């Protein structure tokens, strides 16, 4: 539930992975196959000897080539794209769940209010250990993410049913239905916490 461009992330990871696999395969071939090592040596020698001629083919000044300017410009563009990609990661989190305007004024519902209401409703259940609530803005709509940590041996079905009941009460409280993602997650706290006895 974030504004991260998943397809872009996956595409970049695929390109990076394929590039690393290709580099690894070529390195292994150069170390295991003598002909591949000779080919790499000849290619490297040709590149080193041909580099001064490449710079001289497009002179800008006596000591600078257009190729140098092009390489620097490419590095700047790549750096700007990387900064933009990093800035686009995550995001979408918001501190408000809803906002309504009427003739009498504007009403804003804070995420903390909703979190307290859901936490109070769910943590009364003996099978629930902890509840975390966050709100996200995705495609111009606000949704909730409710993470429920069950006690050891708790029934996931019963926990989901309790969450659905609490969310129905939340819809009544807000006067509208909002998208809610409920996830039941086990963690170290669940494993190391003893089940509370009720006599």
Domain boundaries in the chain?
A: 6-88, 93-192
Instruction: Give the model's pLDDT for residue 192.
Output: 40
Per the model's pLDDT, the better-predicted residue between 72 and 55 turns out to be: 72
CA 136 to chain centre: 13
Instruction: Give the model's pLDDT for residue 180.
Output: 83
Contacts of 63 (CB under 8 A, 6+ apart): none
Which CATH topology does 93-192 take?
A: Alpha-Beta Plaits (3.30.70)
Q: Which residue is it, tokens 């990076």? A: 16
How many angstroms separate the Cα of 109 from the Cα of each of 30, 98, 138, 165, 170?
63, 5, 17, 20, 12
Mean pLDDT (the chain, rounded): 77
- Rounded CA-CA distance 187/103 in Å is 48
| Secondary structure of residue 58 in the 3-state scheme | coil
pLDDT 10s digits, 174-186: 777 878 888 887 7
pLDDT 10s digits, 111-121: 788 888 888 88
- Rounded CA-CA distance 57/161 in Å is 73
Nearest to 189 by CA among 149, 153, 160: 149
Using the predicted structure, report yes or no on whether residue 163 has a pLDDT greater than 50. yes
pLDDT 10s digits, 71-93: 889 999 999 988 877 776 655 67
């Amino acid at each position: 539930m974030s504004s991260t461009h998943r397809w872009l992330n996956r595409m970049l990871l695929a390109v990076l992975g394929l590039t690393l696999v290709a580099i690894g395969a070529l390195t292994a071939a150069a170390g295991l196959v003598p002909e591949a090592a000779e080919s790499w040596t000849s290619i490297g020698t040709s590149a080193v000897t041909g580099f001064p001629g490449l710079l001289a083919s497009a002179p800008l000044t006596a000591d600078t080539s257009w190729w140098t300017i092009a390489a620097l410009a490419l590095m700047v563009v790549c750096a700007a794209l990387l900064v933009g990609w990093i800035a686009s990661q995550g995001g979408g989190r918001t501190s408000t769940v809803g906002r309504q305007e009427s003739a009498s004024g504007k009403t804003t519902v804070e995420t903390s209010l909703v979190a307290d209401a859901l936490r109070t409703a769910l943590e009364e259940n003996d099978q629930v250990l902890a509840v975390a609530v966050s709100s996200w803005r995705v495609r111009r709509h606000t949704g909730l993410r409710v993470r429920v940590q069950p006690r050891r041996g708790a029934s996931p079905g019963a926990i989901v049913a309790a969450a659905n009941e609490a969310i129905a009460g939340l819809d009544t409280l807000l006067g509208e239905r909002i998208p809610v993602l409920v996830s039941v997650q086990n963690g170290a706290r669940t494993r190391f916490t003893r089940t509370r006895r009720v006599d």
